[in-house]
């Protein structure tokens, strides 16, 4: 079905890149190792589309992994960045722009009085955990298997075998002594949660989770599970941290906290908050932030934190999101995609489920129903996805180069783009399962 696109220039650049960058990339998943072949080198991107180094155009459902919710190079965001850049790239001093963005976050997110900016989501979660430990005087951290919170040592920890486990490092270079301070639980399991709190409740400084887990596929949780987690944290004096780096300003303007009506003690942001520039933040009630330097003893800092250009991109992005009712439009697009795909999947006997929340979507290969835990994601998903991804790519539809990454819709996608993409996806699914049967 697919036309073969020329990828000579990308292949040449990749060969060169591998002699200058480890694995040819600045972040691992970009290397296409999970799907095979050569990663595409981007030349430029606008709206829902990008152009690669060979001049091919692709409909982009990665959108920089979420930040460009308005589409690539949105004119208002670009103008805000250009105007800010002309006034100075970095001050290393206070300025009005960071106050304005913090005020916007306060207005949108439930329970936020104070916002500390960082330059990445990783820094935001790492610092939120330090604040939680400093404020509670406790050391233990609880995370959930399948949730990703950036690459700081204590968060690169995977589940062991039992329901209550002390974490094993999931990366070389993370000392076992550090990983042991992290407990890992399965998602969607109130019993495991209650058992951990019963055994270790008084040691737990914080529980961190993606309330909309979107880094191991899209593992949508029952609101009752989130409410139970909230109750247990409150009962045991542990702080609840919602990592809203993907879900913040996307599943609702007030993130998953607004969507599910469950308020965390601390929230972390990134991606959309920077509108494509490097930004993260952690935020919460004023009394907690009394513990943070310069007010208190918990140290956290950053040369480029609150960077004026990045703050301008974030302000412009949130302003357009709010003003233009973008999230409602995205939900309509997502619904259209779902309404094209779901009936075809139902009619077929293909082992694949389509999962969606608003503008996030995911094909769960190897399953007929949407999984809610990392442990339930099928082992053969990656092999099936390899074919599906290659078929879509050849037809000019760019999906994440990993079976476990979600797709992102942007405000720049049109209904026609969705029609075209779903047609391509259905053909790619047919090809994938025809090949799997051979
Ligand atoms: C992307 C992501 C992070 C890490 O953010 P970086 O800016 O890549 O450091 C943390 N948490 C979640 C939920 C993410 O999706």
Provide CB contacts within 8 A for 173, sequence distance 6+: none
Dump pLDDT digits (tens) for 161-210.
333 456 678 888 888 888 899 999 999 999 999 999 999 999 999 999 99
* Domain assignment of residue 203, yes or no: yes
Say if ligand 1 is within 6 A of residue 118 CB. no
Angle between helices 326-347 and 308-323 (to 10 degrees): 70
* Domain assignment of residue 3, yes or no: no
In eight-state DSSP terms, residue 207 is E
Say if ligand 1 is within 6 A of residue 246 CB. yes
Dump pLDDT digits (tens) for 265-321.
999 999 999 999 999 999 999 999 999 999 999 999 999 999 999 999 999 999 999
Distance CA 362, CA 12 (A): 31
Average pLDDT over residues 325-343: 98
Average pLDDT over residues 140-157: 92
For residue 259, which phi and psi values (nearest 5 degrees)?
A: -55, -45
* The pLDDT of residue 184: 93
Say if ligand 1 is within 6 A of residue 121 CB. yes
Specify whether 303 is located in the same domain as 286: yes
The fraction of the chain above a pLDDT of 70, given in percent, is 97
* Whole-number Cα distances in Å, 269 to 244, 327, 368: 5, 17, 32
Active site residues: 148, 243, 271
* Domain assignment of residue 215, yes or no: yes
State the CATH number of the domain containing residue 314.
3.40.640.10
Asked if 411 and 326 touch (Cβ cutoff 8 Å), the reply is: yes
Average pLDDT over residues 96-119: 98
Specify whether 272 is located in the same domain as 156: yes
Asked if 179 and 189 touch (Cβ cutoff 8 Å), the reply is: no
pLDDT of 4 above 80: no
Specify whether 89 is located in the same domain as 209: yes
Q: Which atom of ligand 1 is nearest to the CA of 65?
A: 1
- In this structure, what token pair is assigned to residue 291? 């513990």
Average pLDDT over residues 54-83: 98
Distance CA 366, CA 384 (A): 8
Distance CA 406, CA 297 (A): 38
Confidence of residue 158 (pLDDT cuts 50, 70, 90): low
Nearest CA among 157, 152, 229 for reference residue 189? 229
* The pLDDT of residue 414: 98
Average pLDDT over residues 328-337: 98
Provide CB contacts within 8 A for 297, sequence distance 6+: 134, 291
Say if ligand 1 is within 6 A of residue 149 CB. yes
Domain boundary (323, 339, 361) is at 323
In eight-state DSSP terms, residue 300 is -
Specify whether 41 is located in the same domain as 80: no
- In this structure, what token pair is assigned to residue 185? 């639980």
Could you tell me the distance, in angstroms and rounded to a whole number, from the CA of residue 375 to the centre of ligand 1? 21
pLDDT of 349 above 60: yes
pLDDT top residue among 116 and 5: 116
Asked if 63 and 410 touch (Cβ cutoff 8 Å), the reply is: yes
Domain boundary (291, 323, 355) is at 323
Asked if 225 and 188 touch (Cβ cutoff 8 Å), the reply is: yes
pLDDT of 353 above 60: yes
Average pLDDT over residues 395-417: 97
Specify whether 256 is located in the same domain as 381: no
Say if ligand 1 is within 6 A of residue 102 CB. no
Cα angle 192-173-373, degrees, rounded to a multiple of 5: 25
Q: Which atom of ligand 1 is nearest to the CA of 271?
A: 7
Specify whether 287 is located in the same domain as 306: yes
Pick the residue whose CA is nearest to atom 14 on ligand 1: 245
Specify whether 271 is located in the same domain as 415: no
The residues pairing with 140 across neighbouring beta strands, listed in sequence order, are: 204
Domain boundary (275, 294, 323) is at 323
State the CATH number of the domain containing residue 41.
3.90.1150.10
* Domain assignment of residue 285, yes or no: yes
Q: Give 63-68 contacts, CB < 8 A, sequence gap 24+.
A: 63/408, 63/409, 63/410, 64/276, 65/271, 65/400, 65/405, 65/408, 66/246, 66/250, 66/271, 66/272, 66/408, 67/271, 67/272, 67/274, 67/275, 67/276, 68/275, 68/276, 68/410
Quote the distance between the C-alpha of residue 267 and its chain's center.
14
Specify whether 151 is located in the same domain as 242: yes
- In this structure, what token pair is assigned to residue 11? 């292949």
Could you tell me the distance, in angstroms and rounded to a whole number, from the CA of residue 227 to the centre of ligand 1? 24
Give me the chain's average pLDDT, please.
95
Distance CA 128, CA 28 (A): 25
Say if ligand 1 is within 6 A of residue 148 CB. yes
Specify whether 54 is located in the same domain as 150: no
Specify whether 205 is located in the same domain as 286: yes
Q: Is 434 exposed, middle or buried (0-12, 13-18, 19+ CB in 10 A)?
A: exposed
Nearest CA among 8, 14, 124, 3 for reference residue 401? 14
Would the pTM count as exceeding 0.85?
A: yes
Specify whether 211 is located in the same domain as 193: yes
* Domain assignment of residue 2, yes or no: no
Could you tell me the distance, in angstroms and rounded to a whole number, from the CA of residue 277 to the centre of ligand 1? 13
Cα angle 316-319-325, degrees, rounded to a multiple of 5: 135
State the residue for tokens 């047609």: 423
* Domain enclosing residue 215, as ranges: 75-323
Say if ligand 1 is within 6 A of residue 216 CB. no
* The pLDDT of residue 435: 86
* Domain assignment of residue 1, yes or no: no
Could you tell me the distance, in angstroms and rounded to a whole number, from the CA of residue 29 to the centre of ligand 1? 13
Average pLDDT over residues 415-437: 96
Specify whether 130 is located in the same domain as 240: yes
Average pLDDT over residues 51-78: 98
How many residues appear in the chain?
Answer: 438
Confidence of residue 381 (pLDDT cuts 50, 70, 90): confident
Could you tell me the distance, in angstroms and rounded to a whole number, from the CA of residue 149 to the centre of ligand 1? 6
Domain count, the chain: 2
Asked if 255 and 248 touch (Cβ cutoff 8 Å), the reply is: yes
Could you tell me the distance, in angstroms and rounded to a whole number, from the CA of residue 218 to the centre of ligand 1? 15
Q: Which atom of ligand 1 is nearest to the CA of 210?
A: 13
Pick the residue whose CA is nearest to atom 11 on ligand 1: 149
* The pLDDT of residue 333: 98
């Amino acid at each position: 079905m697919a036309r073969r696109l020329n990828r000579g220039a990308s292949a040449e650049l990749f060969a060169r890149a591998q002699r200058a960058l480890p694995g040819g990339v600045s972040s691992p998943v970009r290397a296409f190792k999970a799907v095979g072949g050569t990663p595409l080198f981007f030349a430029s991107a606008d709206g829902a589309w990008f152009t690669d180094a060979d001049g091919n155009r692709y409909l982009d459902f990665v959108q920089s992994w979420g930040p460009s919710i308005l589409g690539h190079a949105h004119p208002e965001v670009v103008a805000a960045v250009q105007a800010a850049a002309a006034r100075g790239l970095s001050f290393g001093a206070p300025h009005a722009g960071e106050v304005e963005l913090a005020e916007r976050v306060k207005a949108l997110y439930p329970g936020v009085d104070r916002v500390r900016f960082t330059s990445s989501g990783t820094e935001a979660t790492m610092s939120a955990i330090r604040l939680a430990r400093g404020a509670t005087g406790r050391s233990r951290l609880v995370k959930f298997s399948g949730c990703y919170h950036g690459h700081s040592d204590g968060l690169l920890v995977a589940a062991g075998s039992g329901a209550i486990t002390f974490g094993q490092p999931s990366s070389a270079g993370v000392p076992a002594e550090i990983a042991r301070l992290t407990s890992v639980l399965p998602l969607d399991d109130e019993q495991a949660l209650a058992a951990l709190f019963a055994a270790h409740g008084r040691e737990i400084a914080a529980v961190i989770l993606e309330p909309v887990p979107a880094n191991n596929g899209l593992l949508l949780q029952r609101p009752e599970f989130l409410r139970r987690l909230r109750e247990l944290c409150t009962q045991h004096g542990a702080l609840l941290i919602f990592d809203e780096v993907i879900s913040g300003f996307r599943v609702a303007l007030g993130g998953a906290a607004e969507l599910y009506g469950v308020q965390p003690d601390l929230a972390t942001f990134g991606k959309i908050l920077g509108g494509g520039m490097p930004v993260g933040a952690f935020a919460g009630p004023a009394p907690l932030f009394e513990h943070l330097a310069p007010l208190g003893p918990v140290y956290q800092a950053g040369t480029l934190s609150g960077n004026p250009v990045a703050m301008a991109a974030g302000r412009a992005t949130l302003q357009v999101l709010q003003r233009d009712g973008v999230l409602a439009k995205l939900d309509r697009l997502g619904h259209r995609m779902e309404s094209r795909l779901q009936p075809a999947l139902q009619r077929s006997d293909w082992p694949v489920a389509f999962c969606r929340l608003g503008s996030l979507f995911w094909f769960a290969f190897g399953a007929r129903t949407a999984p809610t835990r990392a442990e339930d994601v099928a082992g053969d998903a990656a092999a099936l996805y390899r074919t599906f991804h290659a078929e879509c790519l050849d037809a000019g539809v760019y999906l994440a180069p990993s079976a476990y990454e979600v797709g992102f819709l942007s405000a720049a996608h049109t209904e026609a783009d969705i029609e075209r993409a779903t047609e391509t996806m259905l053909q790619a699914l047919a090809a994938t399962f025809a090949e799997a049967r051979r």
